[in-house]
């Protein structure tokens, strides 16, 4: 199976294309000097200013193998070019350098890597989200299927045995690298259930089933669970796992949009699903949580977030992740979530627990496992070609670098309705 081919490059003229490529090369050289990365082009290293510490061996180093193609791509589609250029083999980390490590300096200087005079022009390179990717009732199903219905076996090739595709929560105070990933994933699930107050007799709604781990853990606590997903592959495996655990009678797995759920629940948990909702539908998403949550209940939303100013600067931009990985997705800020809840619901943010570095470690584990699956031939045997493999290599490394740098974060956000004070007599 191959990922979608990139859109053909269509500059208005060859002269314009060459001019854009030359400008893109100058900009990237300036960026590389600011972010402390060596670029090797035509056998010559550029980008690192004289007198700064470090040697060529310990600085991140990128080799541009096909500079004409890469700079033309960068000049034409700057928001897509870095990822597409890697996928098409136009650039790569230098031998002995890791992909996430060469992306990290760019993530660390995300706000000021581009020289000041050019930052104000960023909006000119923005492309709005294509209408076909809007998360309407039909569009959301199509967008979810494009990612989560790729193949359960493909996801199993790099996930831990719990089949949990979200950030783990490692034990604080111990080195992350030495901890077991499956235990950390179950710790995350249990933390979300604890924050939602899930126990014996709880009527729980889960928005976004995944492969059933949270529903299974909640049922083991004695909860009665309704869990909804738009992924047929995920629903089928979740039902199988629940049946094998003898818990099918406690969990109702539904192939259903969250907007179509009815009834009242004591608690709601939604793990890394809000990112797929799309900004246009955040009011509907949080209003649905509000409408489904019974009196005194709590909702826990685990969300990947970005700083509010970056969210405001990128919210209308169509980027590489949306084109190749999560169509229709937008990362919120915590502020955006708070404002959406205040304007459209009775829910308020009661608590936020963030653990972004835990996601960096989770992604590092996934990358190693995925690389092993690629090397061992399992991914190709499942029908995924080399181009797909390179897209996913870039996706996992790109996200790892983002969390390591703190450019993006993840947190469990607790929502409930403020308690009403006593009514005054008289």
Dump pLDDT digits (tens) for 67-108.
999 999 999 888 899 999 999 999 999 999 999 999 999 999
Do 83 and 180 belong together in one domain? no
The whole-number pLDDT of residue 302 equals 98
Q: Per-residue b/e over 322-340, b at no fewer than 16 CB within 10 Å?
A: bbbbbbbbbbbbbebbbeb
Number of domains in the chain: 2
- For residue 90, is it within any domain? yes
Rounded to an integer, what is the distance from CA 347 to the centroid of its chain? Answer: 25
Q: What is the pTM of this model?
A: 0.90
Q: How far apart are CA 301 and CA 294, in angstroms?
A: 16
What are the residue ranges in the chain where pLDDT is below 50? 3, 6-7, 9-12, 50-54, 423-426
The whole-number pLDDT of residue 378 equals 96
Show the domain range for 359.
132-416
- Signed CA dihedral, 244, 245, 246, 252: sign only: negative
pLDDT tens digits for 130-183?
777 777 777 777 878 778 778 999 999 999 999 999 999 999 999 988 899 999
Q: What is the mean pLDDT of the chain?
A: 89
- For residue 423, is it within any domain? no
In the 8-state DSSP scheme, what is residue 88? T
3-state secondary structure of 44: strand
- For residue 239, is it within any domain? yes
Do 180 and 99 belong together in one domain? no
Do 121 and 149 belong together in one domain? no
Do 205 and 106 belong together in one domain? no
User: Last residue of some domain: 99, 125, 151?
Assistant: 125
The whole-number pLDDT of residue 131 equals 73
- CA distance readout (Å), 385 to 75, 105, 377: 28, 30, 10
Q: How far apart are CA 329 and CA 304, in angstroms?
A: 11
Do 210 and 92 belong together in one domain? no
10 Å Cβ neighbour count for 249?
10
Rg (C-alpha) for the chain, rounded Å, is 23
The whole-number pLDDT of residue 9 equals 47
3-state secondary structure of 418: coil
Which pair of structure tokens corresponds to residue 88?
């098409």
Do 283 and 338 belong together in one domain? yes
CATH of the domain at 310: 3.40.50.150
Do 330 and 399 belong together in one domain? yes
In the 8-state DSSP scheme, what is residue 419? P
- For residue 5, is it within any domain? no
- CA distance readout (Å), 258 to 1, 268, 282, 346: 30, 11, 12, 18
Do 336 and 272 belong together in one domain? yes
Q: How far apart are CA 229 and CA 234, in angstroms?
A: 8
The whole-number pLDDT of residue 36 equals 84
The whole-number pLDDT of residue 426 equals 39
Do 243 and 305 belong together in one domain? yes
User: Last residue of some domain: 108, 125, 142?
Assistant: 125
User: Last residue of some domain: 103, 125, 147?
Assistant: 125
Do 156 and 100 belong together in one domain? no
Do 156 and 294 belong together in one domain? yes
Do 105 and 143 belong together in one domain? no
């Amino acid at each position: 199976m191959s990922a979608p081919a990139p859109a053909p490059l269509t500059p208005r003229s060859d002269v314009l294309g060459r001019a854009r490529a030359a400008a893109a090369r100058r900009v990237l050289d300036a960026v590389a000097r600011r972010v402390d990365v060596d670029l090797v082009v035509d056998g010559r290293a550029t980008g690192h200013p004289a007198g700064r510490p470090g040697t060529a061996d310990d600085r991140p180093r990128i080799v541009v193998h096909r500079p004409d193609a890469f700079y033309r791509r960068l000049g034409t589609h700057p928001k897509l070019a870095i990822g597409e250029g890697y996928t098409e083999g136009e650039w790569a980390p230098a031998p002995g350098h890791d992909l996430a490590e060469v992306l990290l300096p760019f993530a660390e200087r995300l706000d000021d890597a581009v020289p000041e005079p050019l930052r104000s022009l960023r909006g000119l390179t923005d492309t709005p989200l294509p209408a076909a990717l809007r998360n309407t009732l039909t569009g959301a199903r199509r967008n979810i299927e494009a990612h989560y219905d790729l193949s359960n076996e493909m996801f199993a090739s790099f996930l831990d045995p719990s089949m949990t595709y979200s950030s783990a929560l490692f034990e604080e105070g111990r080195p992350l690298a030495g901890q077991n990933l499956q235990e950390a994933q179950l710790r995350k699930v249990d933390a979300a259930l604890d924050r939602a107050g899930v126990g014996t007799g709880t009527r729980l709604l889960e928005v976004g089933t995944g492969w059933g781990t949270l529903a299974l853990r909640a049922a083991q606590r004695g909860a009665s669970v309704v869990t909804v997903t738009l992924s047929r592959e995920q629903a089928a495996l979740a039902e199988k796992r629940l049946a094998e655990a003898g818990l099918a009678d406690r969990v109702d797995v539904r192939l259903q949009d969250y907007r179509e759920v009815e009834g009242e629940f004591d608690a709601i948990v939604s793990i890394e699903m809000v990112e797929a909702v799309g900004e246009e539908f955040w009011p509907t998403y949080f209003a649905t949580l509000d409408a489904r949550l019974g009196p005194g209940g709590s909702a826990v939303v685990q969300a990947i977030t970005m700083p509010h100013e970056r969210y405001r600067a990128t919210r209308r931009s169509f980027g590489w992740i949306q084109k190749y990985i999560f169509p229709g997705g937008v990362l919120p800020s915590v502020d955006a979530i708070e404002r959406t809840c205040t304007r459209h619901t009775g829910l308020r943010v009661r608590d936020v627990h963030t653990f972004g570095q835990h996601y960096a470690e989770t992604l590092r584990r996934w990358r190693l496992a995925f690389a092993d699956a690629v090397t061992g031939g399992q991914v190709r045997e499942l029908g995924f070609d080399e181009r797909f493999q390179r897209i996913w290599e870039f996706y996992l490394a790109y996200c790892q670098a983002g969390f390591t740098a703190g450019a993006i974060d993840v947190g469990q956000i607790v929502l409930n309705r403020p308690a009403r004070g006593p009514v005054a007599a008289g």
